[in-house]
Chain A
Amino acid sequence: MIASLSAAWRRIVALVGKEFLALLKDKKSRFVLIGPPIIQLLVFGYAATFDLNHVPYALYNEDGGAVSRQLAARFAGAPVFDLISTIRRDADIRPLIDDRQARLIVHISPQFSRDLALGKPAPVQLIVDGRNSNSALIVLNYASSIVQQFNADRLQRSGMGGPPVHLEVRAWFNPNLQSRWFLIPGIAGLITLIVTMLVTALSVAREREQGTFDQLLVTPLRPVEILLGKALPGFIIGMFEATVIIALAVFWFDIPLLGSLVTLYTGLALFLLSAIGVGLMISSLAVTQQQGFLGAFLFMVPAVILSGFATPIENMPEAVQYITLIDPLRYFVVILRDVFLEGTPFHLLIPQFWPLALIGTISLSIAGWLFRHRMY
């Protein structure tokens, strides 16, 4: 029993060694495995943010009274907005927006000061470019909060000791509401998925294309051993890359890592298991590397979109929300964000752990079965 186990172990180690040789044999392959994930995290880490800054806007103040100038000063002083021009005619609005020179026009009408003095509500018109509706929404939100702050301050100064109800706002877990804190753990998950999928999705397909898989099947290696031999390199590479990425997130981007590393790595190991399972399943269905690669792609793109990495899952229609349940990245993104930002303890993440283990077990079993049963 022990002798046969150790023989099996030797066979698996030999296969893993061969897999690593195939992956790392030439300089180009070594580079594409190690360089790009790091570059990606750095570039995308900086690129991916929903926080807007330096939003170009134009001011169109037809009023000129003291109050309107105070309001205009609020916009000029906001770090989010950059004043690019002051306009004097209606006709100037359109070209500024059309050319995307200004994303926002703050238009104060001629009766503005008079209305306020009479105690009537005075409108300020905000014109935004809706071509990117998400940015438009955020710009409107920033601009409205400037106006609301202006109103609140006017109430405060009105001499009755302030409004009867005032707001105290607070953001937990991310006090400055930086979307980078939210997105970088997601990007770490995304890059880990891509690396692992590519390593595993091409591994069986390459052997099929070159005809060496049949040779592998007639060796004493049993399907389980082939499965382990094919899965382990992906696991080791995934662990290594994820560790580098997590270190970068913490030490380079200063994302707080509040939770325990044990919880994080439990999630990572289970996630790698499921990603490798899906990758090997695709790979054993594919006959050529192109099929393996494109198959991995057909899986990865929806997996990324449905993971809640950039857009919240709660906003998706119910039917789509059900589909996200089979997406391993969905669970891993939750684990990453919770462990990083909220310091969620191990037991609260068990609802995320078991689906990953289930997806991994099922997909690995299918892959192992396909090794023997899909023949050409």
Chain B
Amino acid sequence: MNAAHLNEGGISAMRLRGLMRKEFLQILRDPSSIAIAFVLPVILLLLFGYGVSLDAKHVPIALVVDEPGAATASFTGSFRHLPYFDPLTLPDMRSAEIAMREGRVEAIVHLRTDFGRKLYQPGGTPVQIIVNGVNANTGRLILGYGSGIWINWLHQYAQINHIHLPASVQVEQRVWFNSELRSRNYLVPGLIAVIMTLIGALLTALVVAREWERGTMEALMATPVTMNEIIIGKMAPYFVLGSGGMLISVGMAVWLFDVPLRGSIWLLFGVAALFLLVALGMGLLISTLARNQFVASQIALIVTFLPAFLLSGFIFEISSMPQVVQIITHIIPARYFVALLQTLFMAGDIWSVIWPNALALAVMALIFLVLVRRISRKRLD
């Protein structure tokens, strides 16, 4: 069989079956691919579903009252009955400062000596709230909750003491699609994109590089197998593995974590298949270009996994990134998949979101597969 024959790219069912069988056997005999496809998703989902929460609840705070009295008690009391804070009463600012440095409290609420007296004088009395700014996100939430408590207390106080305060504007919040603001509901769908990237791109990144490194690629070329058959033979088994991972993830999301699935399940699996094609294409491309497992694994990590984690809008909001980084996110396939997953799970079949994102994925899948096919042909000549 000559090179010209290889370039024709015909497909024979028998040869393809043989190749796929070989690939499946290789997967089955190596526990690490099975672990990545089935164990890692379960671990990740459990960790994210149960372990990770960005909500600030039960934040330890220090209450420092220089001169306790009835007025201070009513003020500090309003910090005690909320799920946001775990207050700890400390005798003075020195010990509160030490507690903050040692990380035992995240904030200090300080009522000064003259709190009770100055309350009735014009100008009033200050209440100091100091937050540990290291974790800026939590710090800002604490300040937000703190000022909410202050406004509420003020109005109660005014009512009891018959002081006339101008009526205030009250915030009435409505959170659509996720009314309890459960971070699980958005982390779990986003995580599915990370898992699919792992299975699709990381596993396949190694498979062709391994054949080159071990010299079995050349042996494969000496057979009548065509390039199309090699590509399909490499992709199909991992496509099956990826679909299995997807099924497990969706099952766990819906039944274990009670994430609502408001969109249609067929659409969900449709876009997942599309994304899987993109991820497999990326993996094969890396593998074909690198021809060395060390390089392939490094590149796969850098261009697939970490961007899926940090640049996809899964944890960090894309619209808040600098313009240049926002442009970079457009070439990250996970970005489109995360948008699709979050919408399909929480909001439903919103076609104005589905069409553009699915189209972007389809175009990317096409580009990667064409590239893989072209590069593979060139290398064989």
Contact partner of B54 (CB less than 8 A), chosen from A46, A53, A311, is A311
Q: Mark B39-70, 1 if CB is under 8 A from A, else 0.
A: 11001100110111111111110000000000
Contact partner of B47 (CB less than 8 A), chosen from A127, A137, A147, A306, is A306
Q: Which residue of A lies closest to B131 (CB)?
A: A171
Contact between chains at B299 and A123 (CB < 8 Å)? no
Contact between chains at B316 and A298 (CB < 8 Å)? no
Contact between chains at A44 and B131 (CB < 8 Å)? no
Q: How many residues of A sit at the interface, in one of the four size bands?
A: 35 or more
A221 an interface residue at 8 Å Cβ cutoff? no
Contacts known (A122-B169, A177-B139); A165 close to B119, Cβ less than 8 A: yes
Contact partner of A53 (CB less than 8 A), chosen from B168, B316, B320, is B320
A60 an interface residue at 8 Å Cβ cutoff? no
Contacts known (A174-B136, A298-B35, A317-B51); A148 close to B294, Cβ less than 8 A: no
Q: Mark B168-200, 1 if CB is under 8 A from A, else 0.
A: 111111111111011101100000000000100
Q: Mark A94-113, 1 if CB is under 8 A from B, else 0.
A: 01011110000000000010
Chain A residues positioned under 8 Å from B294 (CB to CB) = 29, 32, 198, 202, 206, 289
Contact between chains at B47 and A175 (CB < 8 Å)? no
A167 an interface residue at 8 Å Cβ cutoff? yes
Q: Would you give the shortest CB distance from B295 to chain A, in whole angstroms? A: 5
Contact between chains at B298 and A36 (CB < 8 Å)? yes
Contact between chains at B119 and A171 (CB < 8 Å)? no
Number of A-B contacts (CB under 8 A): 369
Q: Which residue of B lies closest to A115 (CB)?
A: B167
Chain A residues positioned under 8 Å from B146 (CB to CB) = 167, 169
Q: How many residues of B sit at the interface, in one of the four size bands?
A: 35 or more
Contact between chains at B133 and A172 (CB < 8 Å)? yes
Q: Would you give the shortest CB distance from B176 to chain A, in whole angstroms? A: 6
Chain B residues positioned under 8 Å from A293 (CB to CB) = 206, 293, 297
CA distance A175 to B347 in the complex (A): 37
Chain B residues positioned under 8 Å from A317 (CB to CB) = 50-51
CA distance A158 to B101 in the complex (A): 40
Chain A residues positioned under 8 Å from B257 (CB to CB) = none
Q: Which residue of B lies closest to A158 (CB)?
A: B166
CA distance A288 to B30 in the complex (A): 9
Contact partner of A182 (CB less than 8 A), chosen from B48, B127, B135, B151, is B135
Contact between chains at B297 and A168 (CB < 8 Å)? no
Stretch at the interface among B12-20, B321-329, B365-373: B321-329
Stretch at the interface among A228-236, A244-252, A340-348: A340-348
Chain B residues positioned under 8 Å from A288 (CB to CB) = 30, 32, 210
Q: Would you give the shortest CB distance from A192 to chain B, in whole angstroms? A: 14
Contact between chains at B342 and A131 (CB < 8 Å)? yes
A52 an interface residue at 8 Å Cβ cutoff? yes
Contact between chains at B131 and A302 (CB < 8 Å)? no
Contact between chains at A344 and B54 (CB < 8 Å)? no
Q: Mark A267-293, 1 if CB is under 8 A from B, else 0.
A: 000000000000000000010111101
Chain B residues positioned under 8 Å from A169 (CB to CB) = 128-131, 143, 146-147
Contact between chains at A29 and B176 (CB < 8 Å)? no
Contact partner of B347 (CB less than 8 A), chosen from A98, A126, A128, is A98
Contact between chains at B178 and A133 (CB < 8 Å)? yes
- Report the 5 A-B pairs with minimum CB-CB distance, sorted nearest first: A174-B133, A130-B178, A171-B133, A161-B122, A32-B298
A-B contacts, 13 listed (Cβ < 8 Å): A43-B325, A112-B169, A116-B166, A121-B167, A128-B173, A133-B175, A144-B148, A155-B165, A167-B129, A168-B129, A170-B128, A177-B140, A178-B136
For the complex with contacts A47-B316, A293-B206, A315-B55, 12 further pairs of A-B residues with Cβ separation under 8 Å are A29-B292, A39-B302, A99-B350, A100-B339, A115-B167, A119-B166, A133-B178, A161-B122, A170-B131, A174-B136, A175-B133, A302-B44
